[in-house]
Amino acid sequence: MASFRCLFVSFAACALGKLSPGEQPLPSIADSGKKIFDKIAAATANSVDGITATVQSNPLQFPLLTDFWCAYELTDRKRTPALLIDDMQVEYADYVHGIVPQVKLLLDVFREAGLPVFWSTWWRWGPDDGFFNSMDRFYGPVGWNTSSNSLYNHKRNGGDVLPAVAPQNPMEWRRVMHKSYSLDMFDERPMEWASPSDQGTLHVELQKLGVDTVVQVGAWTDDCIISTAFHAFSLQYDVILIEDGVSTASKQHFNAIEVMRGALAKVLLAEDVAAYIRNGLPVLEAAPKAKLAGSRAQPVERQAASLLAYKADAEHQEPLSAVSESISVDAAMRLVFAVGCTSIFSFVSGWVLRGVLSRKMRDGDTHDRQYRRFM
């Protein structure tokens, strides 16, 4: 295989006119690979679904920098999805209340379709709970007994599932797991199921049901959600991240979403996935129409299709250019009026002041002549 790679690099370098047949290949395969890629990218830029290659100069001298996104569509094949509701619990109500409607929408749709739903809640109450591990070492002893340490629950019944998205029957309650050791819903260590049974790990239960696609909602985006997403991906599940259905308490919410978007997940909106589950409609990975309160805009320019949502909204609104033009004209008229008034005031004031000064000068000159007459 190594000799084949060298032969390929030599042939490619010769084809590009960089080496003669008798010369040795460049010492850095990455360097020669970049040159080959540059030639290909120049001829067929952005022609492959799922990748846009952007060759950039950077201080670390990486061969190239690229942006990746999900190339498949939900309608590409028949799927058996499962909804994973992560840590939508009483303890985190203040942080997840904004995503409850989207989570409930998907929960209702999955129930209607007879598709499986699994819940998890974070179930730790202090450093003496028998699960002291790397998370305890990371967070440290500071705030162990106060609400400033988010590693533990501090509210009464803080580990209970929020009523709006809670299980409704014994079968659903069998699918609620209490996480205490790992952020990951797919952790291979034994989970404590809310309803004791002979159930295995989440992966085992999903395999029994023939699940091949997981839809993720809940908290925290940059902890449990991203950890579960990477593990699901490594277990060969297609990962669907609901952008308006995840939340966190840190400033890393959008960063975590972008990491998952570029590495393993198809990032979609709750209403679009609901339409797909109900009607089998295609879903476009578009920029979200709304964000959680206090969030900053994060436009997604991955596919040309993502602009359709904005174009559709624009048809029902006054064009921004027209609004800007009217504002500009109004501002210009106000400016002209203000300048005109200022000019008139300055002219009148100057005329009056000049008259007053002239009169004083005449009076002073007359007084001076009368004074010299008596000398």
Q: Is pLDDT larger for residue 216 or for residue 299?
A: 216
d(CA 218, CA 165): 10
* pLDDT value for 54: 52
Q: Average pLDDT over the chain, rounded to whole?
A: 72
Place 303 in a pLDDT band, splitting at 50, 70 and 90.
very low
Of 71, 86, 27, 131, the C-alpha closest to 262 is 71
- Range name among 14-18, 286-290, 370-374 with the lowest pLDDT average: 370-374
- Report the percent of the chain where pLDDT is more than 90: 37
Asked if residue 36 has pLDDT above 70, the reply is no
- Cα–Cα dist 325/247, whole Å: 39
Measured distance CA(246)–CA(166) in Å, rounded: 16
How many Cα atoms are found within 13 Å in the side-chain-facing hemisphere of 98?
15
Q: Which has the higher per-residue pLDDT, 269 or 351? A: 269
pLDDT at position 133 is 78
The pLDDT value given to residue 317:
40
For residue 24, pLDDT over 50 is answered with no
What are the tens digits of pLDDT across the range 51-91?
Answer: 554 545 555 665 566 778 898 999 999 999 999 999 999 99
pLDDT of residue 3: 47
Q: Where are the beta strands (DSSP E) in 78-170?
A: 81-86, 117-122
CB-based burial label for 197 (10 Å; 0-12, 13-18, 19+): exposed
Residues 6+ apart with CB under 8 A from 280: 75
Give 99-134 pLDDT, tens digit per residue: 999 999 999 999 999 999 999 998 887 666 777 778
Burial class of residue 85, CB neighbours in 10 A (0-12, 13-18, 19+): buried
Where exactly does CATH 3.40.50.850 map onto the chain? 79-123+159-314
Token pair of 368, please?
A: 């001076």
Q: Looking up tokens 């533990």, which residue turns up?
A: 152
* Residue from 248, 233, 192, 245 nearest 83 by CA: 245
- Res 203: pLDDT: 94
pTM above 0.95, yes or no: no
Does residue 208 surpass a pLDDT of 90? yes
Query: Is pLDDT at 9 greater than 80 in this prediction?
Result: no
Average pLDDT over residues 213-217: 98
Question: What class has domain 79-123+159-314?
Answer: alpha beta
Sequence-distant (6+) residues with CB within 8 A of 8 are none
At 141 the pLDDT is: 66
